[in-house]
Amino acid sequence: MAQLPKTIPGKVFLALFVIAAVPVLVWFAIMLSGPIVWASVAVIVISAVVLFIRRRRDDAARERAWVGAFSFADVVARKRADATLDHSIS
């Protein structure tokens, strides 16, 4: 998934890219105006939105599936508890 840049040069590059891309997109929209083109663009945009939502739901489901699952942190906690118990007995 795309993320915004965190560095100043990255932000400047993104701003210049957006400034250059917007007029090109407007020009394409004017040049390619027609019902077939707009229907195709609508299908592409709707497909992208549906895929984005589906992916977010899948990621959320994977996160929920990991909750309570066995992990390395469980092993470390168990080893520390055993070590504490051993030290308290001796």
List the Cα angle 28/29/33 in 5-degree steps: 115
Q: What's the rounded Cα separation, in Å, for the pair 17 and 2?
A: 15
pLDDT along the chain (90 residues), means of 10: 81 93 86 81 93 94 78 83 78
Q: What's the rounded Cα separation, in Å, for the pair 66 and 74?
A: 13
Q: Is the pTM of this model over 0.85?
A: no
Of 78, 72, 73, 74, the C-alpha closest to 86 is: 78
pLDDT value of residue 34: 81
